[in-house]
């Protein structure tokens, strides 16, 4: 990633005014402090406590609409399938379902969440390198739009499960185009060394085999080269060009190709990155896949949900170390793991109006978890933040709550949705009782205390 958490960066961090100005759902009010849509975030923090995830429904709608419009303006027959792993909150999925979005799911749990939120089965794609027989059977029972197969072994498995059920599975082949998306190594998926997809050189033969197997209807090709792509327009174009070339070859052999799946990956500006615009992505798809005249699919996750969410946290205390100030929060890496896992930079804003304009000094922002990796930011310019002061992590709507754990026996944080002047808790904070409730004591160890 361009700007790792711990190494020096060539540009100064954006200031508070800058961070707010670039996020249309956020405003700084003189009396209410940081406001999301029409709801002061301080109100939510006071009523629900912290840490708490807050999602802007308006932002989800606006960004889904912007992507849809960009694809339509490029003259593409395109459908959007929100990657549920970015955010599987039922309320988030419901907002997108109402906008006509489908879903890209990678597990039984996500398939169930998408259906529970009201996403029609015939708009759901099932991706992932290790679908179990049970997951394949569920997908077929539900009648989902397509399964993206990632290996010859999986194709055989899908065929066997479908044939045993007397069903025909619509299957796309995910090819590994062996292109470098130039993103963080942990979220690059389109290189030959990555575990994803079928080697380009093996794909045509496997596609032909799919057409001959019972229980399988070959649908097309899929590709997904990585996530948080900010400078990989060339990689996108190279990957889509390979898909186009292969699709044309397959059709030339008389094999059916109904549609092409372009995956997700479009990056967002967490700090000062300048990712490709939806129009640029649509243009790349049009230029490479357009001539085939086939419907295309997109599986965006981060681009839609990332900017829509914040994580609210409270300051536990400020610890003055030698030459360092540590701001210790009640949120930790178990809540938002992206800084620890990907060296990700997140904007951090105080919520109170006076703190948005107070003098700044560098601080390390950390959580209370017993890991040095539990560090959200180093040397970040922040005001004096006394115990109880509230802050928001920006752009936490994707790969935030979905990647949470209960490490250090910390209950899962609450989730809230804001929609205009309305807001509601969409997942109450997990209770400590619930955290212990599903554990059993072996009878030879005696009863629980």
Ligand X SMILES: *Cc1c(COP(=O)(O)O)cnc(C)c1O
Catalytic (active-site) positions = 370
Return the CA Rg of the chain: 23
Q: Applying CB under 6 A, what is the total number of residues that bind ligand X?
A: 17
Among 224, 271, 286, 346, which residue sits at the site for ligand X (rule: CB under 6 A)?
224
Between residue 103 and residue 122, which ones bind ligand X under the rule CB under 6 A? 104
Binding status of residue 278 toward ligand X by CB under 6 A: no
Integer Cα distance of 106 and 17 in angstroms: 38
197 binding ligand X? (CB under 6 A):
no
Q: 304 near 51, Cβ under 8 Å? A: no
The one segment of 66-74, 95-103, 300-308, 379-387 that binds ligand X by CB under 6 A: 300-308
- Candidates 16-24, 164-172, 250-258, 294-302 — which segment interacts with ligand X by CB under 6 A? 294-302
Rounded to a whole number of angstroms, the minimum distance from the CB of residue 98 to ligand X is 20
127 binds ligand X, rule: CB under 6 A: yes
CA proximity to 350, closest of 79, 60, 40, 13: 40
Among 42, 45, 71, 86, binds ligand X (CB under 6 A): 86
85 binds ligand X (CB under 6 A): yes
For 222-244, b/e burial (b = at least 16 CB within 10 A) is: bbbbbbbbbebbebbbbbbbbbb
CB of 388 to ligand X, least distance (A): 34
Closer residue to ligand X in complex, CB, 264/307: 264
Q: Is 300 in the site for ligand X (CB under 6 A)?
A: yes
What are the angstrom distances between the C-alpha of 243 and each of 88, 125, 221, 255, 418?
A: 29, 18, 7, 15, 40
User: What CA–CA distance (Å, rounded) separates 412 from 300?
Assistant: 25
| Choices 46-54, 235-243, 298-306, 358-366; region in contact with ligand X by CB under 6 A | 298-306
Q: Please tell me whether residue 227 binds ligand X under the rule CB under 6 A.
A: yes
* CA dist 112 → 33, 92, 93, 116, 208 (Å): 38, 14, 11, 6, 32
CA distances from 69 to 57, 78, 236, 436 (A): 18, 10, 20, 47
List 40, 190, 264, 309, residue binding ligand X (CB under 6 A): 264
Residues lying near ligand X in the complex (CB under 6 A) are found at 83, 85-86, 104, 127, 224, 227, 263-266, 299-303, 398
């Amino acid at each position: 990633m361009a700007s790792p958490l711990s190494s020096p960066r060539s540009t100064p961090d954006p200031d508070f005014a800058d961070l707010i100005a670039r996020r249309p759902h956020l405003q700084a009010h003189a009396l209410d402090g940081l406001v999301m849509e029409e709801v002061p975030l301080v109100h939510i923090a006071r009523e629900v406590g912290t840490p708490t995830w807050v999602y802007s429904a308006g932002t989800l709608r606006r960004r889904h609409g912007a992507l849809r419009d960009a694809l339509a303006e490029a003259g593409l027959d395109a459908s959007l399938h929100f990657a549920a792993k970015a955010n599987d909150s039922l309320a988030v999925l419901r907002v997108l379902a109402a906008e006509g979005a489908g879903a890209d799911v990678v597990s039984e749990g996500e398939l169930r969440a998408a259906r529970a939120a009201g996403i029609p089965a015939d708009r759901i794609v099932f991706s992932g390198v290790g679908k179990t027989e049970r997951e394949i059977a569920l997908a077929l029972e539900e009648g989902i739009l397509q399964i993206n197969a990632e290996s010859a072994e999986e194709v055989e498995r899908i065929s066997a499960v479908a044939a045993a059920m007397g069903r025909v599975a619509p299957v796309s082949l995910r090819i590994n185009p062996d292109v470098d998306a130039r993103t963080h190594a942990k979220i690059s998926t389109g290189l030959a060394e990555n575990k994803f997809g079928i080697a380009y050189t093996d794909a045509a033969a496997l596609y032909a085999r799919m057409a001959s197997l019972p229980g399988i209807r070959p649908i097309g090709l899929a590709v997904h080269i990585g996530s948080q792509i900010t400078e990989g327009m060339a990689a996108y174009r190279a990957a889509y060009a390979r898909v186009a070339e292969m699709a044309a070859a397959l059709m030339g052999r008389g094999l059916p190709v109904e549609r092409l799946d372009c995956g997700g990956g479009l990056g967002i500006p967490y700090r000062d990155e300048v990712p490709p615009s939806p129009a640029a992505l649509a243009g790349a798809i049009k230029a490479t896949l357009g001539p085939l005249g086939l419907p295309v699919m997109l599986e965006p996750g981060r681009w839609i949900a990332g900017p829509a969410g914040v994580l609210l946290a409270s300051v536990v205390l400020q610890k003055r170390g030698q030459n360092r100030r540590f701001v210790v929060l009640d949120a930790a890496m178990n809540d938002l793991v992206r800084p620890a896992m990907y060296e990700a930079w997140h904007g951090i804003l105080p919520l109170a109006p006076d703190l948005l304009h107070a003098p700044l000094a560098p601080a390390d922002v950390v959580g209370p978890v017993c890991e040095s990796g539990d560090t959200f930011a180093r040397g970040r310019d922040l005001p004096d933040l006394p115990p109880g002061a509230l802050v928001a992590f920006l752009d936490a709507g994707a790969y935030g709550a979905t990647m949470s754990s209960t490490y250090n026996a910390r209950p899962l944080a609450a989730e809230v949705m804001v929609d205009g002047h309305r807001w509601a808790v969409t997942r109450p904070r997990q209770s400590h009782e619930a955290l212990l409730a599903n554990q059993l004591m072996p009878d030879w160890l005696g009863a629980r205390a």
